[in-house]
Amino acid sequence: MAHAKTSYVCLPCRAAYKQPHDRDRQRICPRCAQPLVHVGSAFATPRRRDTEAWRTLAVLLHAGVRFHKSCCGGPGYRPRTLSEVRERMAYARRSGEPFATALVRREVP
């Protein structure tokens, strides 16, 4: 039985690739030879020219947020703009909540 494919991203190239997931194998970008980041199977790739979306994605990935499917659907809420990221990061600093947890909050108190 073939395994389902999942998404890998190269942030410097702004490229995404669907490949079978194997924990023991490091994926390399075919363009720049940098390691690819495993982002999950529920990932929707932004357009290459959408600089703000790629910057937002970089913040999410560096915080440890991924796009894995849940039993009831997609990955849940993820911020789409830099202003949403800034708002959640400011909340995390004020409240002491970890950045990864604050970034996936739908509403900021």
Residue 13 and residue 5: Cα distance in Å, rounded? Answer: 21
pLDDT along the chain (109 residues), means of 10: 81 95 91 95 93 95 88 77 94 94 89
List all residues 6 or more positions away from 6 whose beta carbon is below 8 Å from its beta carbon.
18, 19, 20, 21, 38, 39, 40, 41
Residue 1 has a pLDDT of 47
Residue 74 has a pLDDT of 67
Residue 23 has a pLDDT of 85
State the amino acid at position 74 in one-letter form: G
What's this model's pTM, rounded to 2 decimal places? 0.85
Residue 28 and residue 44: Cα distance in Å, rounded? Answer: 20
Residue 11 and residue 81: Cα distance in Å, rounded? Answer: 17
Residue 73: φ, ψ to 5°: 150, -135
